Amino acid sequence: MTKQEVVVITGASAGAGRATVQEFARHGAWIGLIARGRDGLEGARREIEAAGGKALVLPVDVANPEQVEAAADQVERELGPIDIWVNNAMTSVFSPIKQMTAAEFKRVTEVTYLGYVYGTLAALKHMLPRDRGSIVHVGSALAYRSIPLQAAYCASKHAVLGFFASLRTELMHDHSNVHTTMVQMPALNTPQFGWVKSRLPRKAQPVPPIFQPEVAARAIYYAAHHPHRREYYAGWSTVKAIFGNKLVPSLADHYLARAGYDSQQHDGAEDPNRPNNLYEPVAGDHGAHGQFDDRAHARSLELWGATHTQLLAGFAAIGIVSIALGATLFSASSSRRRQVWRRAA
């Protein structure tokens, strides 16, 4: 009997994590589901079981390392050896820095950065003795290019990138068959914009262009099975943000100072009293999608290219051969014409 692939996904109850659950379930994986919101976790479990897989619901706060380690141990006992661990859980606060509290910075950092650290430590505990496994870190263009109004989240994603780079080099030094990779995401249509704590005057939105969470899920699934590549960029906007920041960071600062506030808000006043998920999950099963379906792209050409490198290389080789053959034929034809002209002369 073929062993089922065992996967752990943090932040599995909604958004990109939920879409990733659906993607792995479509391929028959058994999945440990980590998040705080039981309603969303139960919804994800039903989707996995409907696809013929097996799920383990683990209501865990990733900011608590003991809970994360215990969850990993439970997955190993009930589902089997963990093959893939996806660090994805996050939270944020939409707010100018001057209005943030120390407690808010601490909480966002504990979930969005330290949650990745704790998940990685739990995964390594089981993967290293077996000398196999894949750890995927779900990142963002904001790991390279910070924007206003999301300082705690941007700083946490920068920290994840630094942690990931250290981890990767240590695994390489040890010649380990445990691999790690990072997927840098564009703006995604997820429910977070309706439940993240916000002090913005208008409703929060992802900075356009916006992509559907299934784009993120396909990128994560591919990266998990091709972890030798250091990073994947799931969207051309991600590429532009990262390399634009490398080339002209000061220009990007001035642009975001002008446009970064309005681009993160859309029509309609924000309700300052709505529930938020900073410390407690918002009740209900929120699914993978947010409220921006009519503006979100279901495909990414950049991701397609990143996941079809052999095909692109084949096309490039055919193109080179065709150009070389055409040049040879043109040269031969030109040579024959010159000979004809000489005889005629």
Write out the catalytic residue numbers: 153
Q: Which long-range contacts (CB under 8 A, 24 or more apart) does 303-307 make?
A: 303/215, 303/218, 303/219, 303/232, 303/233, 303/234, 303/235, 306/219, 306/222, 306/232, 306/233, 306/234, 307/218, 307/219, 307/222, 307/226
Give burial (CB, 10 Å; 0-12/13-18/19+) of 266: middle
Going by C-alpha positions, the residue among 141, 143, 269, 163 that lies closest to residue 207 is: 141
- In the structure encoding, which two tokens stand for residue 207, read together? 């900075």
Compute the distance between CA of residue 142 and CA of residue 188 in angstroms, rounded to an integer.
13
Query: How many Cα neighbours within 13 Å face the side chain of 280?
Result: 5
For tokens 């976790």, name the residue: 41
Which amino acid type is present at position 17? G
DSSP secondary structure letter of residue 144:
T
Going by C-alpha positions, the residue among 55, 80, 76, 57 that lies closest to residue 3 is: 80
Phi and psi of 6, rounded to 5°? -105, 125
